[in-house]
Amino acid sequence: MEIKELGHLVLYVHDIERSAAFYRDVLGWKQLRTAEDSPLGRVPVALFSSGRTHHELLLIEVGEDAQPLPRGRHVGLYHFGLKVGDSDDELREAIGRCREAGVHVVGMSDHTVTHSLYITDPDGNEIELYIDVPGVSWDLEHVMAPVKALAL
């Protein structure tokens, strides 16, 4: 077997309306389905796509009484990355939009091959918003380069 690409991501969320608003209104993903027309019956969901495929993100509401994500070092998802453009100007726009929306910014990093902004969604899932640095090859030397502070 050979994996061709990551197809989609499914996240459990406390409140579907709050999370859908974040992914739709702050991050700008196109919402395809809403909780009212859930394919899972009575379970509130929201389905999103950037247009690359049928869907890239599915949110499933589990309610406010569901256990929160563990903090600190733990096994499981660390973060997922979303490419927001091809230039630092586009990353600056993303930073501005996140700050205007009051999104928690975890950090910013220069990974040599990417420039990255780290944020959390309303349920604490960490998301990397990034651009590929133009003209830098994704060879092992550049990919494994030390992480530097990002100055935009």
pLDDT per residue as tens digits for the range 46-77? 999 988 888 899 999 999 999 988 888 889 99
Mean pLDDT confidence for 78-106: 96
29-33, 49-53, 134-138: range with highest mean pLDDT: 134-138
Range of the domain at 101: 80-149
Q: CA nearest 59: which of 49, 68, 69, 47?
A: 47
> What DSSP designation does 51 have?
S
pLDDT per residue as tens digits for the range 95-119? 999 999 999 999 999 999 999 999 9
Same domain, 86 and 132: yes
How much is the pLDDT for 55? 87
Q: Which structure tokens are listed for 44?
A: 């509130």
Domain count, the chain: 2
Task: Give percent of the chain with pLDDT exceeding 70.
Answer: 95
Same domain, 127 and 85: yes
Considering the domain boundaries, does residue 2 fall inside one? no
Amino acid at 92: R
Is 37 a residue whose pLDDT tops 80? no
φ and ψ of 13, to 5 deg: -130, 155
Q: How many helices (H) and strands (E) does the chain have?
A: 3, 9
pTM metric for this prediction: 0.90
SS3 content of the chain, % helix, strand, coil (to 5): 20, 30, 50
Same domain, 51 and 106: no
What's the length of the chain? 152
